[in-house]
Amino acid sequence: MKEETEKQDDEISLIDLFAVLWQRRKMIITITLIAVVGVVLCSVISLILPPEKSFLPNEYTPKALMLIDNKSSSGGGLSSMLSSSGMGGLASIAGVSLPTGSSYSELAVFLVGTNSMLDSVVDEFDLINRYKIEKYPKTSSRKELKKILKADYDEKSGVFSVSFTDIDPVFARDVVNYCTAYLGKRFDELGVDKSKIEKENLEVNITNTFNDIQQLEEESRNLERSVSTFSGRLPTITTDINRISLELTAKRQVYTQLKVQYEVLKVSMASETPIFQILETAEIPDQKSGPSRGMLCIIVTFAAGFFAVFLAFALNAIANIKNDPEAMAKLRKTDEKK
């Protein structure tokens, strides 16, 4: 008997709930329709207005892709390189720990969030004026940039990406490509790619040695021409010619050795994977990344429907209290005590 009574109570309660919804159906439908019409109108107006004046403008997120070779980053080598460059101390101050097993990809992600890079982007594109930042310009501009400048690393593919979100697709593309170039330059400054540094040093030494050879050859020609003119100084001139000849021979040997090292290094580098390699620069996106107005309309519609249902039950509860003499009497007593 008790189970049957409980079932009847449940059926009655469900019927009562449905009755409340049916009684307030016009209000529920009206509130939901008003919300739907309102959010659709807002979405349409946001599309019609210019991006800089729209309260819900289209946003674009171009992305650049880079390949980072973590196989070349031994934990100790990377840690010692960071310590010698001062980046290890900077990471500690920033509250970021780079463990012994840290990789170049983790270093790239860390560099994107450093104040030096953020300030460089802010100054290059005048973001303080662009975003109309007045209070605490340096700190506020960094925080604003961190929200829209993202770095990500895919461990499966080994691809590192940098993206930036803005209402201007051309501007967003320029910011991403600038960050890509900055990272490449920063990796070079930190001395990550030893082969590349050695190649640059060899190029400089080869150029300087070649210039020295040309200068010595010019001096030798000038002395040979002066032999007939200054016959009284012939011994001195001959000594100078011999000296220059010896220096010229030594320089040519050095130049030959440098060229051999340079060519060998080029062959070696051709068979190696660069530590930091740009796979794809950012392009001007022709499709927005957000906001999703369709999803916004769905969310607002469901939220308005739930609110209308809640309001219907709240109004019904208030009406029941008003129609209940005992409940009203309790409320009057409570008011009298206050």
**Tens digit of pLDDT for each residue in 223-256?**
777 666 655 555 666 777 778 888 888 888 988 8
Whether residues 27 and 43 fall in one domain: yes
pLDDT band at residue 96 under the 50/70/90 scheme: very low
Whether residues 188 and 203 fall in one domain: no
As a whole number of angstroms, the distance between CA 85 and CA 191 comes to 9
Res 282: pLDDT: 93
Q: Does a structural domain hold residue 88?
A: yes
Res 306: pLDDT: 94
Measure CA 280 to chain center: 15
Res 267: pLDDT: 73
Whether residues 82 and 160 fall in one domain: yes
Whether residues 167 and 109 fall in one domain: yes
Kindly tell me the burial class for residue 149, based on how many C-beta atoms sit within 10 Å of its own C-beta (0-12, 13-18, 19 or more): buried
As a whole number of angstroms, the distance between CA 297 and CA 113 comes to 35
Residue pLDDT, tens place only, 159-189: 899 999 999 999 999 999 999 999 988 887 7
Which domain range does residue 21 map to?
Answer: 2-55+293-337
Whether residues 147 and 209 fall in one domain: no
Q: Does a structural domain hold residue 279?
A: no
Residue pLDDT, tens place only, 263-322: 877 776 655 566 778 889 999 998 998 888 889 999 999 999 999 999 998 888 888 887
Residue 70: DSSP 8-state: G
Kindly tell me the burial class for residue 292, based on how many C-beta atoms sit within 10 Å of its own C-beta (0-12, 13-18, 19 or more): exposed
As a whole number of angstroms, the distance between CA 289 and CA 120 comes to 25
State which of 137, 171, 192 marks the end of a domain: 192
3-state class of 60 per DSSP?
strand
Whether residues 74 and 168 fall in one domain: yes
Sign of CA dihedral 295, 300, 301, 307: positive
What are the strands, taking DSSP E only, across the chain? Answer: 63-68, 149-154, 159-164, 276-280
Whether residues 167 and 119 fall in one domain: yes
Whether residues 71 and 178 fall in one domain: yes
Higher pLDDT residue, 248 or 92? 248
Q: Does a structural domain hold residue 278?
A: no
Name the domain count of the chain: 3
Pair 162, 112: CB distance under 8 Å: yes
N-term to C-term CA, the chain: 46
Q: What is the pTM of this model?
A: 0.62
As a whole number of angstroms, the distance between CA 85 and CA 130 comes to 33
Residue pLDDT, tens place only, 19-58: 888 888 999 999 999 999 999 999 899 888 888 888 889 9
Whether residues 205 and 180 fall in one domain: no
Residue pLDDT, tens place only, 58-73: 999 999 999 887 765 5
